[in-house]
Amino acid sequence: MEHWAGVIMAAGAGSRMVSRIPKPLHKVCGKEMVRYPVELLQGLGIERILVVVSPATHTPVREALGDSVEYVIQPAPNGTGDAAAHAVAALPKDTANLVLLGSDSPLLRQESLQQLVEQHQASGSAMTMLTAPDMLAPDLGRVLRDEEGRIVALVEAADSDEDAWAPAEVNAGAYCFSRTWLEATLPRIAPSASGEIYLTSLVGLAAQDGDVVDSVASELPEEIFGVNDRIQLAQVETVMRWQILETLMRSGVTVQDPGSVYIDAGVAIGCDTVIRPNTSVLGNTAIGEGCEIGPNAVIQDSRIGNDCRVTASMLEEATLEDGIDVGPFSHLRPGSHLETGVHLGNYVEVKESRLGRGVLAGHFSYLGDATVGAGTNIGAGTITCNFDGKDKHRTSIGESAFIGCDTMLVAPVSVGDRAATGAGSVVTRDVPRNLLAVGVPARIRANNQLTDTKAPD
């Protein structure tokens, strides 16, 4: 795609969303709408991508997209034609063609955009647009053709004299332009009654000058659905959610009840994994093969290995290696890392902690800011008391240790390999390996005697 550029319109106020959030940043299946056209253009191999923003949307859009694109500010809301003019002025002179997309049509497919580009290159036309024939789309502009089938005008829905619900060929809002033609023609657009300059007016000017406006018909009409309000946002999400589930099921994932499962666009799931009802898999999550997730699970931005089971539990920015069993009713907070073979049962909460291979924590425990060695058993009611009211402190538990029920580990503190604590102990001092600490506060039992001093390691 040498000498091509991409332009994305993201300067609109989106007043019908009734939101303090700019419309391009409302999410569909976990991803801001403006990210979808950016990824489409990147998929085409276009390296120069310009996003047109307003003074109000510039900062939040930049926070979302970072430096992956360039930004062009449209100082005043003077319409899509004015936005395009600002973008064209910012392009390098060697740009021969450009793809122009909106930021509110997240269902647009890579295949359609590829066909649009190929048709534009093959025809050498001034303008090539994506359309959808025989659509019931009362809020989209209608394509008018002459007797020979040539496109001669676009009529905005508000200006059309035809029945708004009559089938028609409609404008999908995706275009390819010859840069020199666009640069020469944009200044000729007459402002509308509201003073705005509409990009769609280019079609009439092209017909007037005898320039060719080519088109590509969408093969999947729902891809042209755009978002102007919260109702359309929900409708578009419904379509995309089913597309995501269909793709996963065709790749070997079982989804027992698609109507109750929510999976975001950035999720990857391996073959023979089963997603049970009332489960949400969100954000940048990856799940391996042969897992069972749900029912009633929420997985957010997490990594789950092969052959894991997560039942009625919540994971946030957590990592599970292979063969791990979690839940029901457990919560893994950010920074949790469970090594192979860990078992967490009912009501176990883990935060910023690493649990070694084969660790067992079956009931009612909190492990925060902790490191737990392989093969250790965490008794019911164990709590790492990691917060002193001002600072967080870490707890270290060695391998093959045994932490008795209702043990309070007052951090900073460590328990050595193969050490143990008695039920109900409050551990305020380090417990050396191979020894037992019991009591409140816990003391070391050495030679069947209790001592207040630290036993030799």
The secondary structure of 424-456 as a DSSP string is T-EE-S-B-TT-EEETTTTEEEETTEEESSPPP
Helices (H), 21-109: 35-43, 58-65, 80-90
Torsion, Cα 158 162 168 169, to 10 degrees, reads: -60
Q: CB neighbours (10 Å) of residue 255?
A: 22
φ and ψ of 59, to 5 deg: -65, -50
By three-state DSSP, how is residue 356 classified? coil
Active site residue 86: no
Distance CA 104, CA 107 (A): 9
| Dihedral (CA of 192, 198, 202, 204) sign | negative
Residue pair 326/346 in contact (Cβ under 8 Å)? The answer is no
Distance CA 135, CA 165 (A): 9
Distance CA 127, CA 378 (A): 68
Exactly one of 58, 120, 343, 363 is catalytic; name it: 363
Task: Report the b/e string of 306-336 with b at 16+ CB within 10 A.
Answer: bbbbbbbbbbbbbbbbbbbbbbebbbbbebb
Q: CB neighbours (10 Å) of residue 230?
A: 13
**Single-letter amino acid code for the residue at 395:** T
DSSP type of residue 250 = H
Residue pair 105/35 in contact (Cβ under 8 Å)? The answer is no
By three-state DSSP, how is residue 135 classified? strand
Angle at CA of residue 234, ends 232 and 238, nearest 5°? 115
Backbone region of residue 150 per phi and psi (left: phi > 0; alpha: psi in -120 to 50; beta: other values): beta
**Single-letter amino acid code for the residue at 185:** T
- Counted residue by residue, the chain has a size of 457
By three-state DSSP, how is residue 121 classified? helix
Residue pair 244/261 in contact (Cβ under 8 Å)? The answer is no
- Residues annotated as catalytic are 363
